[in-house]
């Protein structure tokens, strides 16, 4: 899945908390800030694992305020692990 969250989502530990949530859920993929102030991620795992992480993304960590979470399908890449990437 490809997810873009908008709102107060940068400068609040969103990406690093998401990395912990993703690892705990057992998904692989990546997360990064975007220059427009949003956070973007790709998540790969079982439907249940992905749903768990997407649900967390719609809420975010304490101190964030997620206004919108856009979710679209993405082709699996077979990636391993979960990374925080540099800003796009």
Task: Show the DSSP H helices in the chain as ranges.
Answer: 14-25, 47-59
- Give the residue numbers annotated as catalytic, written as ranges: 15, 33
Confidence (pLDDT) at 58: 97
How do the domains of the chain map onto residue ranges?
A: 2-75
2-75 maps to CATH 3.30.1330.10? no
Confidence (pLDDT) at 8: 97
Segment 1-46, tens digit of pLDDT: 999 999 999 999 999 999 999 999 999 999 999 999 999 999 999 9
* Residues contacting 55, CB < 8 A, separation 6+: none
Closest Cα to residue 15, out of 45, 75, 29?
29
Confidence (pLDDT) at 66: 98
């Amino acid at each position: 899945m490809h997810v873009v969250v908008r709102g107060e989502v940068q400068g609040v530990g969103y990406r690093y908390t998401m990395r912990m949530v993703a690892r705990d859920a057992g998904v692989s993929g990546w997360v990064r800030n975007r220059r427009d102030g949003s956070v973007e991620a790709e998540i790969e795992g079982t439907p249940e694992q992905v749903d768990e992480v997407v649900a967390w993304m719609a809420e975010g960590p304490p101190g964030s305020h997620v206004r919108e979470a856009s979710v679209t399908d993405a082709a699996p890449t077979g990636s391993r692990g979960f990374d925080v990437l540099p800003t796009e």
